[in-house]
Amino acid sequence: MTRTVELTRFRVSPENAERLLAARPGMLADFRADRAGFLGARLVRLPGDEWLDIVEWRAPEDRAASAAKGGNLPGIRGFFELIDELVSAEDGTTEENEG
């Protein structure tokens, strides 16, 4: 099964790193409640105050609908507000056979 993968790389100031991690559960809860096709996410800490958010979606339409909503709920908005700079954002698809 092919899935859409959203890859977002961003910077967070060192003083906000713990706040970002504390805000993550609320963001994920809001995504589960409000974003059709959301399958899960992983957050990776990179060198240089950068982070990579890997989000899986059922289909590209689900990803697009989520992007259109932006930070519409408090948990999502609280997470987004801690991001200082967007480094890159791109979408891809999984190509693995599951099973």
How far is the C-alpha of 11 from the C-alpha of 86, rounded, in Å? 6
pTM for the whole structure: 0.92
Average pLDDT over residues 12-34: 98
pLDDT of residue 67: 96
pLDDT 10s digits, 30-88: 999 999 999 999 999 999 999 999 999 999 999 999 999 999 999 999 999 999 999 99
Q: Domain 4-90 carries which CATH code? A: 3.30.70.100
Cβ-based neighbour number of residue 6 at 10 Å: 19
